[in-house]
Structure 1
Amino acid sequence: MRKFLLLTLVLFLAFAAVGAAAAPKILVYAKTADPRGLDPAYNEELESAKIMVNIYENLVKYKPGSTEIQPCLATSWTQSSDGLVWTFNLRRGVTFHDGTPFNAEAVKFSVERQLPPNATSDMPYASFTFEPVKKVEVVGPYTVKFTLNKPYAPFLANLAMSFAAPIVSPAAVKKYGADSNQHPVGTGPFKFDKWDRDQQIVLVKNDKYWGKKALVDKVIYKTTKENSVRSSELLTGAVDIIDGVDPNDVKKLESSGLKVVKNPGMNINYMGFFCHKKPFNDPRIRRAVSMAINRDAIVKYLYQGYAQTANGPLPSFIPGYDPKLKPLSFNQEQAKKLLAEAGASNLSFTILTYSVARSYNPVNGQKLAEAVQAELLKIGVKTNIKVYPWSEYKSAVFNATEGDAYFYGWIGDNGDPDNFLSLFDSNQIESGLNHSKYSNPKVDEILKKGTATLDPKARVKIYQDLQKLLIEEAPWVFVSHSLDMAAYRPNVKGFRLHPVGVSWLDKVSK
């Protein structure tokens, strides 16, 4: 009997071990909002990018922790001496998640659907990324050639971006048509499984991935809108990773043994004016409102040392940043004089804002709007705040049919100064990237010069001069650059936040 019991115990433990080994490794990542979609041609916001970078791949990609370029679906490339022709040699033996082959035709398809006459108005990054592309040609099954209509300094960096540049399955786009935003098919280490709106998106490991396989079997992106709730979920172990960490929660998380990532943020947090309509079509009124806001006090109060006041649109580590650049000074008496001069002494206006935390604004848009509202009231300027959920907010700002100003932010895509400063290009009004509808021919001309200049030192001078002009024109109130923060449980290994605001999760284990 004793031998029988011993044998039974051994068999039970053996089966238990097999069961434990077979249990899927699931990583749960809580984030602030549902994405708008998952087709890179139709999206330009971070909540989409966080997921898309794990489904799709690009010809080139960023090295860990930097925006330096390395091979991905392209193994090598050359550039002609005049800067107009780029030729890429592609990786062989790669298949999309639907089983169709990756090749030069797929690259051509991914790009050409975003070029005239195929590009549509709901492709926000199409012109931003591919405007200089004259044509794309298949040279061979695994060789593709881009011909540009002008030298374009950010071209290679743009091909690594989360939007527009990822290579999609032509078969899947043709199959799903307008629904491709809900059915993403790429070549990446994870495959799309399902999407429960405003609840979760599930990815599963791509067992046929061409590179090293992902270390977890499944990733669940959970939508948890409230900062405090996300922190509580992390503390209890209900989730493994959170982003949008509230500065008020940092000490509590760290004292509980959780890991908090605090990286310099490649971002700008700002209040923008709708410059195409009254009252903010008058730069004097824009300057007055800017000067009435004590940005230093707001940043200190809201972000508690986890952000720094901006002197302009560029973070300090982006080429073209000018430490000597002087923003409009805080001067409420001068602000009142400017308003009187512009005939706007009794100014009142409506501000649009968002209800969730963002990586560039880790409290939330409403709190920031209320802090600005209190500052403006000190000089008699009255404001009405309209708050939207994130999914609705982007449409409200894009349409600009209501409101006079808005709160927003930008997270750099590629480390190039043009990636920030082209948000003031009038050519990006239609795409929606120039939310302020700001138009200045001189600014447009300087931006063209910046991208056509291939000498890095010369480009720095161009962009520094441009920022001085933008300070005077004041299409934005430059508020802050936030630390990029996320938190995770100690049993999670290999998690990193990239400067562009996303995380590749194939190297993360649990």
Structure 2
Amino acid sequence: MPSSTSRRTVIKSGALLLALGVTGCTGVPSPSPSSGFPSSAAAAEPGATFNFGTAAQPLGLDPALSSDVESQRITRQILEGLVGVDQTTGKPTPLLATEWTESNEGRTYTFKLRGGVTFHDGTPFDAEAVCTNFNRWFAFSPDLQRQAPGSSFKGVFKAHADEPDLSIFKSCTALAADTVQLDLTQRFTAFLQALTLPAFAIASPAALAAGNANVLDRQKSGQPLSAFGTNPVGTGPFSLSSWDEGSVTLVTNSSYWGDRGQIGTINFMAYDHPQTRLQALLDGKIDGYDAVTVGNFDQLVKRGKQIVQRDPFSVMYVGMNQAVGILANLKVRQAIELAIDKETLIRRFFIDNTAKATQFVPPKISGFNNNAPELGHDLAKAKQYLKDAGYAGEELKFYYPLNVTRPYLPTPEKVYAEISRQLTAAGLNIRPVPVEWSEGYLQKVQSPGDHALHLLGWNGSYSDAENFVGPLFGEKNGEFGYQDPQVFSKINRARSMPEGEERDEQYHTINDQIAATVPAVPIAFPISALALSDRVVSYPASPVLNEVFTKVQLKP
């Protein structure tokens, strides 16, 4: 790895989370209709072509059902939600809603909608369209939820219409064409931040109906999709032109209501190996790529290429499935934690300044616990714990993904190999189960099954501790087989507590209890980075990956 000194000659600052950890992000703003956007449209018709290298093909283009990074990178360009994210402060900003009010003790939100906006298919954006989308998400059937575990609605609203008493979503009401009211059954402190998730982008009701959006009767790269999921229609600055085996092409939306920027065509080109992405940049085939790895750094530095780093806003972990016999034993899970040498993993496989993780809430988020407990790395103690647990060499299937790079997991094959070596040294019987990312890795490890151990991570999407502990540990799921009613109850209570010291202390306690029961081993808070060609003047790097390409600035 190059030294920190040499990196400073080429690295540019990414977007900083300057205020992401500051309380008050959920206050009700009084934004002006144009807040957060340029005061005038771009003078020239967008005509530039921008080629961007991605680490994998998207798993689907219906943001309500596909939550992987590459899918969201593309759908952020095509569809928009009611609320956006300020690049500097992380606070909610106007997008399709120009202003909003909170009432009824935090259980009612009223949004004034932007006027004169149309979907790509020419149909109007209005309050009825908003309610069509919210009612669709709420009504997702149990079968659809099983087919699409990437849905974010349940993680935020707790339940769908099949369990209405458990859901915090109550109703959506179109008060007027330009006014919509969302009612919750209980206060949710991070509600506005949660609405910035790509999953809550508003799609054309006509396109949802025409594309049978809730019927996943298509296949693409092994993923079940609806017709809509292959051809989404939103209000965003770009629309889908084509989705081929190796690339996705978007074109500028000529009727877009906001600043259209410089780019007329975006080609998202998939390269599933870090070296092929690097070579494509050096050969001038692409203008930039995401997921720079440690192995890329030297060559990028030597060539003087721009490297833009994002502040850490993800956590990489080793998951453990307590539904697999021996892992129900706490001593075995603790032995696994003791056997893993996090420092070696970070030094060898992650970008400089990546921090060791002892919990699942990153340091810049309110609720991070400076004194979170950890067992540390102690091979002798790991062996003793296994002996005390009566471990008799039972085989543990260890799932890990192939041919993919995630912001939280730059080189999964190498990371797996080192962790497997460490666990084997402690006396564990590890059976490798490699799975192609494009062949349903996420679904396999997030659903009930025989995965004992697995590599994964969580990339935060909004600035609240709930976004990290809630989706992972807020209820029993197929990924961990984790059952702790006390933690579930505390997470649910923390969601509705007002921001402040008491809420932070609640999350400290939650982190402590999760650490004590070891449903997974947090390894690192990784720094992710992009590499850019000299053609790029600036790129809107965002820790929460809210990177819309109208804000990319190119040399003339």
Shift of 1:69: 0.8
Structure 2 residue 158 is the aligned partner of structure 1 residue 111: no
Task: Pick from 467, 480, 483 the counterpart of residue 419 of structure 1.
Answer: 467
Structure 2 residue 380 is the aligned partner of structure 1 residue 333: yes
Q: 1:41 is matched with which residue? A: 64
CA gap 1:426/1:310 in 2 versus in 1, 3 angstroms: closer
Q: 1:480 is matched with which residue? A: 524
CA gap 1:375/1:418 in 2 versus in 1, 3 angstroms: same
- Structure 1 contact 336–345 (Cα < 8 Å) conserved: no
Task: Pick from 227, 232, 239 the counterpart of residue 179 of structure 1.
Answer: 227
Aligned pair count reads: 483
Q: 2:182 is matched with which residue? A: 146
Q: 2:203 is matched with which residue? A: 168
Shift of 1:246: 1.0
Shift of 1:22: 9.6
Secondary structure class of the residue paired with 2:470: helix
1:474-503 alpha-carbon deviations (Å, 9 max, x no partner): 011111111121111011123122111242
Structure 2 residue 242 is the aligned partner of structure 1 residue 194: yes
Secondary structure class of the residue paired with 2:511: helix
CA gap 1:24/1:117 in 2 versus in 1, 3 angstroms: closer
User: Which residue identity lines up with residue 204 of structure 1 in the other structure?
Assistant: V
Task: Pick from 513, 529, 540 the counterpart of residue 469 of structure 1.
Answer: 513
Structure 2 residue 163 is the aligned partner of structure 1 residue 127: no
User: Which residue identity lines up with residue 455 of structure 2 in the other structure?
Assistant: F
- Structure 2 contact 319–520 (Cα < 8 Å) conserved: yes
- Structure 2 contact 56–272 (Cα < 8 Å) conserved: yes
User: Which residue identity lines up with residue 325 of structure 1 in the other structure?
Assistant: A
- Structure 2 contact 118–124 (Cα < 8 Å) conserved: yes
Secondary structure class of the residue paired with 1:77: strand
Shift of 1:306: 4.8
- Structure 1 contact 46–502 (Cα < 8 Å) conserved: no
User: Which residue identity lines up with residue 70 of structure 2 in the other structure?
Assistant: E
Shift of 1:345: 4.3
- Structure 1 contact 290–328 (Cα < 8 Å) conserved: yes
CA gap 1:22/1:288 in 2 versus in 1, 3 angstroms: closer
Shift of 1:236: 1.4
CA gap 1:145/1:23 in 2 versus in 1, 3 angstroms: closer
1:153-177 alpha-carbon deviations (Å, 9 max, x no partner): 11111111122x1001000010011
Structure 2 residue 51 is the aligned partner of structure 1 residue 28: yes
Secondary structure class of the residue paired with 1:193: strand
1:22-63 alpha-carbon deviations (Å, 9 max, x no partner): 994110000101111011111111111111111111101001
Structure 2 residue 124 is the aligned partner of structure 1 residue 101: yes
- Structure 1 contact 353–366 (Cα < 8 Å) conserved: yes
Structure 2 residue 412 is the aligned partner of structure 1 residue 365: yes
Q: 1:271 is matched with which residue? A: 318
Structure 1 distance, partners of 2:100, 2:542, is: 24
Pairs within 5 Å for 1:340-359: 340-355=387-402, 356-359=404-407
Secondary structure class of the residue paired with 1:167: coil
CA gap 1:220/1:117 in 2 versus in 1, 3 angstroms: closer
CA gap 1:56/1:304 in 2 versus in 1, 3 angstroms: closer
Task: Pick from 77, 87, 93 the counterpart of residue 64 of structure 1.
Answer: 87
Structure 2 distance, partners of 1:145, 1:171, is: 21
Secondary structure class of the residue paired with 2:475: helix
- Structure 1 contact 114–130 (Cα < 8 Å) conserved: no
Q: 1:299 is matched with which residue? A: 346
Secondary structure class of the residue paired with 1:42: coil
Over aligned residues, Cα RMSD in angstroms?
Answer: 1.8
Structure 1 distance, partners of 2:537, 2:119, is: 28
Structure 2 distance, partners of 1:275, 1:408, is: 16
Structure 1 distance, partners of 2:189, 2:351, is: 38
Q: 1:6 is matched with which residue? A: none
- Structure 1 contact 84–148 (Cα < 8 Å) conserved: yes
Secondary structure class of the residue paired with 1:493: strand
Task: Pick from 435, 439, 443 the counterpart of residue 395 of structure 1.
Answer: 443
Shift of 1:67: 2.1
Structure 2 residue 260 is the aligned partner of structure 1 residue 260: no
Structure 2 residue 118 is the aligned partner of structure 1 residue 91: no
Q: 1:4 is matched with which residue? A: none
- Structure 1 contact 426–440 (Cα < 8 Å) conserved: no
User: Which residue identity lines up with residue 129 of structure 1 in the other structure?
Assistant: V
- Structure 1 contact 97–191 (Cα < 8 Å) conserved: yes
Q: 1:9 is matched with which residue? A: none
Q: 1:228 is matched with which residue? A: 275
Q: 2:333 is matched with which residue? A: 286
User: Which residue identity lines up with residue 494 of structure 1 in the other structure?
Assistant: S
CA gap 1:428/1:105 in 2 versus in 1, 3 angstroms: farther
Secondary structure class of the residue paired with 1:358: coil
Q: 1:16 is matched with which residue? A: none
- Structure 2 contact 316–458 (Cα < 8 Å) conserved: yes
1:298-339 alpha-carbon deviations (Å, 9 max, x no partner): 211222525221121111101111122132221122212221
Q: 2:40 is matched with which residue? A: none
Structure 2 distance, partners of 1:244, 1:375, is: 26
Shift of 1:473: 0.5
Percent of residue pairs bearing the same amino acid type: 26
Q: Normalised by the size of structure 2, how large is the TM-score?
A: 0.84
Secondary structure class of the residue paired with 2:106: coil
Q: 1:136 is matched with which residue? A: 172
User: Which residue identity lines up with residue 181 of structure 2 in the other structure?
Assistant: K
Q: 1:318 is matched with which residue? A: 365
Unaligned runs of 5+ in 2: 1-43, 159-167, 213-225
- Structure 2 contact 293–351 (Cα < 8 Å) conserved: no
Task: Pick from 81, 90, 99 the counterpart of residue 76 of structure 1.
Answer: 99
- Structure 1 contact 153–451 (Cα < 8 Å) conserved: yes
Structure 2 residue 256 is the aligned partner of structure 1 residue 214: no
CA gap 1:473/1:78 in 2 versus in 1, 3 angstroms: same
Larger Rg: 1
Shift of 1:179: 1.3
Secondary structure class of the residue paired with 1:340: helix
- Structure 2 contact 46–261 (Cα < 8 Å) conserved: no
Structure 1 distance, partners of 2:394, 2:540, is: 46
